[in-house]
């Protein structure tokens, strides 16, 4: 089993991690995507977690398909959708292998999660996305920045029941996020490849996608416990890369 499957399964068991209400930031993100697309469209979300964005997008009128591998998160997405009276099609599926019968999406979104694999894995996924997009479609891709995560190493927000540690693999340019259970259970770690926009442009070569726009993201000050939703790119934790077909 790939580490990402066991990590997200275990992380999903931590109360409140993925089972929150829809945060106003998520509604704002859905509104931003809607405005950028010029209205509601056919939208595919990858790695949709607890379904908060899928539901927020469905509330904006999008025809949403969402792919999530962890069954309990798919179930949570269905109950969240029911509670809001919308019906996004949330499927339990692996985005590396799923066969989508009617591709041609106007938008493919992947929030907070890109970089689980090797560079080759990421390219494989991006080539799949190019095949799922309608000719004028676009991808909205959250990418971790190397500078934020290199600096964050050693300072992780704490979670009840665990010691959490951020680290940084400087050679592989990957953020590391380790949970060690207080009951001395086995630690579990996520490791996400970080890309500057220059690195992302190199990664995109041969995938059929090209970077056309970039939205700097926010930054979390772990020591102060303060989240700032918009930062200059050189201080941001992530950015959203807007990708089009070449």
Interface ranges with ligand SAM (CB under 6 A): 4, 8, 47-49, 67-70, 73, 94-96, 111-113, 116
Shortest Å, Cβ 98 to ligand SAM:
8
Shortest Å, Cβ 28 to ligand SAM:
14
C-beta closer to ligand SAM: residue 67 or 126: 67
DSSP string, 25-62: HHHHHHHHHHHHHTS--EEEEES-TTSHHHHHHHHTT-
Shortest Å, Cβ 226 to ligand SAM:
20
Give the number of other Cβ atoms within 10 Å of residue 124's Cβ: 13
C-beta closer to ligand SAM: residue 38 or 97: 97
| Residues β-bridged to residue 188 | 179
> CB-side exposure of 23: number of CA atoms within 13 Å?
10
C-beta closer to ligand SAM: residue 87 or 124: 124
C-beta closer to ligand SAM: residue 56 or 86: 56
Helix axis angle, 71-84 relative to 52-59, nearest 10°? Answer: 30
State whether residue 189 is helix, strand or coil.
strand
Shortest Å, Cβ 222 to ligand SAM:
17
């Amino acid at each position: 089993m790939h580490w990402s499957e066991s990590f997200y399964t275990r992380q999903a068991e931590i109360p409140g991690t993925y089972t929150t209400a829809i945060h106003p930031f998520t509604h704002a993100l859905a509104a931003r995507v809607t405005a950028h697309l010029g209205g509601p469209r056919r939208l595919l979300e990858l790695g949709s977690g607890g379904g908060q964005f899928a539901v927020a997008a469905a509330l904006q009128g999008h025809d949403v398909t969402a792919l999530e591998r962890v069954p309990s998160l798919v179930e949570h997405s269905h109950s969240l959708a029911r509670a809001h009276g919308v019906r996004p099609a949330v499927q339990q599926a692996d985005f590396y292998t799923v066969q989508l019968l009617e591709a041609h999406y106007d938008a493919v979104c992947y929030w907070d999660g890109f970089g689980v694999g090797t560079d080759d894995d990421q390219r494989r996924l991006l080539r799949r996305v190019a095949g799922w997009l309608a000719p004028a479609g676009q991808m909205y891709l959250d990418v971790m920045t190397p500078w934020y995560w290199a600096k964050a190493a050693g300072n992780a927000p704490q979670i009840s029941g665990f010691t959490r540690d951020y680290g940084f693999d400087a050679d592989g340019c990957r953020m590391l996020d380790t949970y060690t259970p207080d009951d001395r259970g086995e630690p579990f770690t996520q490791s996400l490849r970080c890309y500057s926009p220059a690195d992302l442009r190199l990664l995109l070569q041969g995938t059929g996608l090209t970077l056309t726009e970039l939205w700097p993201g926010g930054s979390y000050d772990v020591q102060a416990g303060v989240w700032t939703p918009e930062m200059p790119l050189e201080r941001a934790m992530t950015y959203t890369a807007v990708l089009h077909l070449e």
